[in-house]
Amino acid sequence: MSIFNLLRVRIPVLVLCSFIFFTCDDATYDLDNPNDPENMDLEPPALFFHPSEIDTKLDSSFSMQLYGLKLKPAAAAHLDIRYEYGSVQIDSVVADTFFQSLNDPFQIVDDDSSGTLDYFIYLLPDTVAEMNEGGTWSLATVYFTAISTGGSELLFGENTKLRDANNDSVAVKSFGSGFINVE
């Protein structure tokens, strides 16, 4: 099932989640929190899930952000997200600020509905720059629905990669993982 078909049936949830997203304050981080990236044993530059663990209820919706840690300047990303099909389902993916310029980023979402989400996001150059300045930012937020109980893991797949404006690879030295516990 492609992400387009997925979104078609999940629009109400998407809208609701979007509403929540737009109305919340920006996240602030306490660096002594175990969930802080500095405490995840990741060698920057790295990609990780935030929060890395989520406890939720069956049929509940929740989200996890796809975060970059001390990334170099980039212009595009392919985030290959592996999740446990049958445990959770992906409702939508929303671009966050990492690839935001004066223009909204261009994004393509492809969920094969078998446990792999290919999320392509591109910075649209503006009059200022053709790529961002890098750093630690959320690349996107993935909205899930828990569809069965038990624990499942979220991983970055091997196809995950970033490119700069010259179409050269942007190094990612380590990848974090996430865990979802559904009761």
- Kindly state the smallest distance separating residue 87's Cβ from another protein, in Å: 22
Structure token digits, residue 150: 């038990």
Given the rule CB under 8 A, which of 6-14, 62-70, 145-153, 173-181 is the region that contacts another protein? Answer: 6-14
User: 44, 79, 75: which is closest to 167 by C-alpha?
Assistant: 75
Q: Which stretch binds another protein (CB under 8 A): 1-9, 30-38, 58-66, 148-156?
A: 1-9
Closest CA to 148 of 66, 87, 63, 72: 87
Q: How far apart are CA 68 and CA 88, in angstroms?
A: 23
Within residues 86-115, the interface with another protein by CB under 8 A covers 92-95, 102-110
- Candidate ranges 15-23, 28-36, 44-52, 55-63; the one touching another protein (CB under 8 A): 15-23
Residue 82 binds to another protein (criterion: CB under 8 A): no
In total, the chain counts a number of residues equal to: 183
DSSP string, 96-141: -GGG-SSSPPEEEEEE-SSSEEEEEEEPPP-SS-SS---EEEEEEE
Work out whether 163 is an interface residue with another protein (CB under 8 A).
yes
Binding residues for another protein, rule: CB under 8 A, are 2-4, 7-8, 11, 14-15, 17-18, 21-22, 75-78, 92-95, 102-110, 118, 120, 122, 124-127, 130, 159, 161, 163, 166-167
